[in-house]
Amino acid sequence: MSNKNSIFRLQGKVQHYDWGGFDYIPQLLGIENKKQEPFAEYWLGAHDKASSEIDDGRKLNDLLQQQPGLLGEQVMERFGRLPYLLKILDVKNMLSIQLHPNKQSAIESFEKEKQSGIPIDAAHRNYKDDNHKPELMYALSDFWLLHGFQHPDGLKRTIAAVPEFAFMLPLFETQGYKGLYESLMTMDQNKVDEMLQPLLNRIVPKYNAGAIKKDSPHFWAARAALTYNEHGKTDRGIFSIYLLNLLNLKEGEAIFQDAGILHAYLEGQNVELMANSDNVLRGGLTSKHIDVPELMKHVSFHAVHPGIIRGKALNKNERAFLTPAPDFELSRIEIKQDEVYKIDTISTDIFLVFSGNIEASADNCKLDSGRGASFVAFSQTSISLKGLTDAVLFRASIPVR
């Protein structure tokens, strides 16, 4: 296979996590969900856990290992692999409060767990690979999420508005974010129940009656209690709902989550582009493993002022959603019917057709692609994208400057 003028159809991998919806991703991909399984994520990339496959059945990760020239010289020298992972998410139920480690910590901690003999698929393993996981999410619908600690003034107002949280204010004023968060995450479970149950007794009936709006943390706290509390044990992650920024992104808006930023996706659909990693450290709202000492090593204990990203026009067809991450760049491409848009790739780019139909051509290869179809273009490829109808695509690339 030449590393020039190469495009191939790409088949991603579905992840059936229990928080996913049942219809959005099957409809995007044009498939039936006969078993009524949750379709939570659709992965396009070369992660060893679930690599995409090109149209002849070969796995993309294997191909790139065998022919690293397909990545391009600069990317191969810097990353040694395809550095990003592109996903579509359908968040029906709330995801866990979580964060991701930085690069150096991921390398060291992955090796430490490996040397300790912890199986890679063990439920109590924290590090699934040796990579960091900065991530960008682009809202495909009205999307709700938690993102970083509130500004001190906002946090104090939130605490003051909840009588059951009166104990938090002195903690925050004397010990800051770290002292407050650590006390909540290490609090005895009986004390957690004692602190949260009176609040839940007040707000859950109102939630069930439809009397709380989504812009209130009470809405998500009540939903979390109904989703995650079990047998009288209250999930301490509910505290975090009141500490973090509650955001409502509109379709077309994006946000970047760097290492150490506590966050949680609450509801909606998005495109997510991240470093090629599956490392997640959790802080509640989950039945999965929580390692509080390990989590505390990586939390960024400062206020986060959410930066909504609306994109930068590269030209009349393509808008890029820029981040500080060197591993990836997401862009949205619009093509009118019969219009031709040309791209010269520097490394391995992945394209997902979100709506409409296009013809992608490079050298003597032509692919007709409709909604939900994906294709990959390798280094030094000159691509022509022709709109067979009006169409929208998402492009994952690497910001080589």
User: Which residues are catalytic, by number?
Assistant: 282
Rounded Cα–Cα distance for residues 258 and 284 (Å): 19
- Cα(296)–Cα(273) distance, integer angstroms: 25
Query: 84 Cβ partners below 8 Å, 6+ apart?
Result: 45, 273, 274, 275, 276, 327, 328, 396, 398
Q: What interhelical angle do 189-208 and 217-228 show, nearest 10? A: 110
Q: Where are the beta strands (DSSP E) in 16-120?
A: 41-45, 53-54, 84-91, 98-99
Please check whether residue 90 is in contact with residue 25, taking contact to mean a CB–CB distance below 8 angstroms: yes
Residue type, 153: D
Q: Given the structure tokens 């044009």, which residue do they identify?
A: 30
What are the tokens at 87?
A: 């996903």
The span from the CA of 113 to the CA of 117, in Å, is: 6
Tokens at 397, concatenated: 């690339």
147 in Cβ contact with 247 (< 8 Å)? yes
**Spatial distance between the Cα atoms of 166 and 168, rounded to a whole number of angstroms:** 5
Question: At a CB cut-off of 8 Å and minimum separation 6, what does 85 contact?
Answer: 43, 44, 45, 46, 47, 273, 274, 275, 276, 277
- Alpha carbon distances (Å) from 361 to 14, 235, 333, 339, 351: 27, 52, 16, 13, 13
Rounded distance between C-alpha atoms, residue 26 and residue 12, angstroms: 13
First to last CA, the chain: 26
